[in-house]
Amino acid sequence: MKAKILALLRERSGFVSGQELCERFSVSRTAVWKAVHQLQKEGYQIEAVQNRGYRLTAEPEEDYTQSGLVSRLQTQWAGRPTKFYGELGSTNTQAKLEAENGAGAGTLIVAERQTAGRGRRGRSWSSPAGANLYFTLILRPDFAPDKASMLTLLMAHAAARGIALTLEKAGIGGDRAALGIKWPNDLVAEGRKVCGILTEMSAERDYIQYVVIGVGVNVRKQKFSAEIADRAASLEEVYGCSLSRCALLAEILAQFESDYAAFCETEDLSALRERYNALLINRGREVCVLEPGGEYRGVADGINDAGELLVELADGTVREVFAGEVSVRGVYGYV
């Protein structure tokens, strides 16, 4: 209820009567008072005037709380419910535990800090507090397990669009907000990684029990370890502005919900392919494809409807590269 009251107070410029809050949310005046008091303790400046009601006069500089996040959600199901943790080993690990215990599709796990964050192929993900977004969304799709790998690309596109929209609202658009996708799942700005995605699935032979999609976005300026300092960056560092993590996460979820609806209609990326390819920084570049049995080079030419990267070899043949089996990197560096 705190989030609902906060959202309404944020929407209004003047006072909202206690009676209206009681009737709208079907609660007592005491419950409203307690919710407002809790919001005040979280740093929201809410003026209370007898016979006039409540008015939001100021918000904390960084309102990264469950109330702050949920009050900004514009989705029907993504992020409903949201479970916010101060610290977790990994949001993906927690999400899988929640899914095993019956959590429904749309459940969102968010952490302020991770102590055992993970990326693709078992790599660790630096996860300090107060700096970034770490979240995992639970899905329970009814399509075949072999379709699940495309969800990684779906989230990459949603995260890219969510970041672009948030930057636009901060007054940064056009070429200044250039952001690309390094197939299949990294977001890159100025040649450095700002976001990574890890999708995991529990499935039977022909049935998906659940899918969890974990996302990490570097938001605040921070010092990266020597191992990744040359290829990692934060949005604040690249774009020179401070972004609300709650607003950013809400934009990403809204875009994912829209993209996911289109995906479920066709069970492929046909509706998204053109927009994904427009963001693909690998496209038209020579890449090195690393497979378990060796490696080869070619020129990337976008994705097909199944999310496979099309790579043209020197002899003119085109290979379809499946994301789950290989890694792709630039010949002359990370991208």
CATH code of the domain containing 294: 2.30.30.100
Q: Considering the entire predicted model, what is its pTM?
A: 0.89
**Where does a domain end: 14, 40, 58?**
58
Q: Do residue 289 and residue 250 come from a single domain?
A: no
Is position 201 within any domain?
yes
Q: Do residue 271 and residue 211 come from a single domain?
A: yes
Is position 335 within any domain?
no
Q: So what's the pLDDT on residue 118?
A: 62
Q: So what's the pLDDT on residue 78?
A: 98
Is position 119 within any domain?
yes
**Where does a domain end: 277, 300, 322?**
277
Is position 77 within any domain?
yes
Report, as ranges of residue numbers, the positions in the chain whose pLDDT lies below 50. Answer: none
Q: So what's the pLDDT on residue 124?
A: 56
Q: Do residue 117 and residue 11 come from a single domain?
A: no
End-to-end C-alpha distance for the chain, whole angstroms: 45
Domain containing residue 41: CATH number: 1.10.10.10
Is position 251 within any domain?
yes
Is position 228 within any domain?
yes
CB atoms within 10 A of CB 285: 14
Q: So what's the pLDDT on residue 329?
A: 73
Two tokens, residue 165: 């929209």
> Going by C-beta distance under 8 Å and a sequence separation of 6 or more, which residues neighbour residue 188?
179, 180, 181, 182, 194, 281, 334, 335
Contact 194, 188 (CB under 8 A): yes
Is position 136 within any domain?
yes
Which tens digit of pLDDT belongs to each residue from 40-52? 998 999 999 998 9
Q: Do residue 174 and residue 304 come from a single domain?
A: no
Q: Do residue 111 and residue 186 come from a single domain?
A: yes
Q: Do residue 32 and residue 104 come from a single domain?
A: no
Q: Do residue 53 and residue 138 come from a single domain?
A: no
Q: Do residue 235 and residue 318 come from a single domain?
A: no
Q: Do residue 48 and residue 74 come from a single domain?
A: no
Q: Do residue 45 and residue 122 come from a single domain?
A: no
Q: Do residue 22 and residue 120 come from a single domain?
A: no
**Count of structural domains, the chain:** 3
Q: Do residue 87 and residue 221 come from a single domain?
A: yes
User: What range defines the domain where residue 291 resides?
Assistant: 282-330
